[in-house]
Amino acid sequence: DTAVSQTPKYLVTQMGNDKSIKCEQNLGHDTMYWYKQDSKKFLKIMFSYNNKELIINETVPNRFSPKSPDKAHLNLHINSLELGDSAVYFCASSLWGGGNTGELFFGEGSRLTVL
């Protein structure tokens, strides 16, 4: 019974293509995130949604567009893929404020390789 699931787990594609990664959580959380982990394992937040509303939008190229159809889902669409987009993308979820423990629950990641 996976808490945060993302698909696909692996993506190999050519430069210039468009791809999407989907994420779903069954924890009843109201906040979801996308993190990017580069080859040096550094974790950087990209976006955060609270109850379908965008609340964090870091300095990310506008080729990246998140979409949250409901609070249990957060998808990431990437246009015109570049070599530098190769990374592992993690979806995560948490409760928002109001005494939350600050704990993020991460999915297993989607490894994107751009050739």
Partner 1 sequence: QQQVKQSPQSLIVQKGGISIINCAYENTAFDYFPWYQQFPGKGPALLIAIRPDVSEKKEGRFTISFNKSAKQFSLHIMDSQPGDSATYFCAATEETSGSRLTFGEGTQLTVNP
Binding residues (CB under 8 A) for partner 1: these are 4, 31, 40-45, 48, 50, 55-56, 90, 92, 94-97, 100-109
Q: Which CB, 86 or 106, lies closer to partner 1?
A: 106
Closest CB 30 distance from partner 1, rounded Å: 9
**In degrees to the nearest 10, what's the CA dihedral of 7, 9, 71, 26?**
100
What's the CA gap between 64 and 81, in Å, rounded?
9
CB of 90 to partner 1, least distance (A): 5
How many Å apart are CA 29 and CA 51, to the nearest integer?
A: 9
**Which residue's CB is nearer to partner 1, number 14 or number 41?**
41
Which of residues 42 and 79 has its CB atom nearest to partner 1 in the complex? 42
Please, what is the minimum distance in Å from the beta carbon of residue 45 to partner 1? 7
Q: Of 93, 92, 94, 87, whose CA–CA distance to 110 is shortest?
A: 87
Residue 89, amino acid: Y
